[in-house]
Amino acid sequence: MAASVRHLLKPWTPSLCFARWSRYNPYYLDPDPSKDARVPDSELSPEQKELQELKTVRPIKAALSSDTSSPFNDPLISKFINMMMQDGNKILARGIMTQTLETIKRKQVEKYHRSPAAKRLEIECNPYTIFQKALENCKPIIGLASVQKGGKSYQVPVPLTDNRRRFLAMKWLITECRDNKHRRTHMYEKLSQELLAAFANEGNVVKRKHDLHKMAEANRAYAHYRWW
């Protein structure tokens, strides 16, 4: 038993070394910083029980310094902050994110307070739910991949993984705000406008998603070029 575990934890170098991928031995488990109330053992399914046991035995990777155990920590927001960050300036990126959330909340709460009581229930004031819903509305369902066949390359409609879809939505939001808006507005202002528009299914990012879907629909004939 000990010999087999030792075998797994040998100094491990990946066979293919990518520039930005993690160097951890795949034996290591991901950390879970959240302080959930520990569900008693009787209520766990057998797989979850196995997982719990694994966590006590196996080594775990080190937690990132940007993750907190507080419930205010949101992995989606952290990912977005990382994508917005330039030159490693996380403080600036996080500041922009908090200002964006604040601006969204201010606009919505102002609308809430100025509207009559009947319409108040429809107005969504929580910036976190707005952010998640807006991101959902920006995620493409199907993507295009370039496949070369017979000397010509064709744009082939292809299913996307969840991570890829989330990445594309965030990337489009950020590039849209950086490039296509007026130069003198602040980033948080631009982001809040785009997010509120995406929440209502309007705006340039949602348009870009629709364009992608239309292209995929138009290239349906090449779908069989995909072999994976």
Partner 1 sequence: IQSNGQQLEAVAVETASAEPNPLSVFRTSEQDPTYHSEGHTGQYYMLPPAHIQKLFPYGLPPRFQLQIKTFNEGCVMVRPPALELISYLKRADYSKPPLRYVLYGDIGTGKTMSLCHALHYCYTQGWLIVHIPDAHLWVKNCKELLPSSSRPSRFDQPIQASQWLKNFKITNERFLSKLKTTQRYVWTKRESTEKGQPLGELIDQGVNRMKSSSDVVGAVLRELRLQAGGATEGEGAFKLAVAVDGVNALWGKTSLKKEDRTMCEPEELTLIHNLRKMMKNNWAPVMICCACCIDLLKGLNIFALVLFPPPYLFMPSVFQEGFDSMEPFVPVSVSNYNEKEFESCYLYYLDRNWLQHPHSRSEEGKKELIFLCNKNPSILERLCAAL
Cα 167 to the chain's mean position, in Å? 6
Q: What is the DSSP letter of 11?
A: -
Distance CA(174)–CA(219), nearest Å, equals 27
In the complex with partner 1, the residue whose CB is nearer, 95 or 181, is 95
Report residue 70 CA to chain centroid gap.
Answer: 20
Residue from 34, 52, 89, 126 touching partner 1 (CB under 8 A): that is 126
Residue with tokens 């952290």: 78
Q: Which of 11, 46, 71, 88 binds partner 1 (CB under 8 A)?
A: 71
Here's the x/- map for partner 1, 82-101, by CB under 8 A: it reads as ----------------xx-x
Q: Which residues pair with 145 in a beta bridge?
A: 156
Is residue 56 helix, strand or coil? helix
Q: How far is the CB of 194 from partner 1 (least distance, A)?
A: 18
Q: Is 206 in the site for partner 1 (CB under 8 A)?
A: no
Q: Is 110 in the site for partner 1 (CB under 8 A)?
A: yes
Rounded distance, CA 176 to CA 182, Å? 11
Q: Which of 24, 28, 128, 225 binds partner 1 (CB under 8 A)?
A: 128
Which CB atom, from 125 or from 215, has the smaller least distance to partner 1?
125
Interface pick for partner 1 out of 32, 50, 53, 102 (rule CB under 8 A)? 102
Backbone φ and ψ of 66, nearest 5°: -90, -5
Residue from 112, 154, 167, 222 in contact with partner 1 (CB under 8 A): 112
Least distance from C-beta 128 to partner 1, angstroms? 6
Interface with partner 1, residue 119, by CB under 8 A = no
Binding partner 1 (rule: CB under 8 A), the pick from 55, 106, 119, 171 is 106
Q: Which stretch binds partner 1 (CB under 8 A): 21-29, 67-75, 193-201, 219-227?
A: 67-75
Is 116 near partner 1 (CB under 8 A)?
yes
**Beta carbons within 8 Å of 217's beta carbon, 6+ residues apart:** 157
Integer Cα distance of 135 and 66 in angstroms: 22
The most distant pair of C-alpha atoms in the chain lies apart, rounded to whole Å, by: 72
- C-beta separation of 131 from 188 below 8 A: no
66 makes contact with partner 1 (CB under 8 A): no
Closest separation in Å from C-beta 63 to partner 1:
19
The neighbour count for residue 123, using CB atoms within 10 Å, is 14
CA distance 84 to 191: 11
Q: Give contact residues for partner 1 (rule: CB under 8 A).
A: 70-72, 98-99, 101-102, 105-106, 109-110, 112-114, 116-117, 125-128
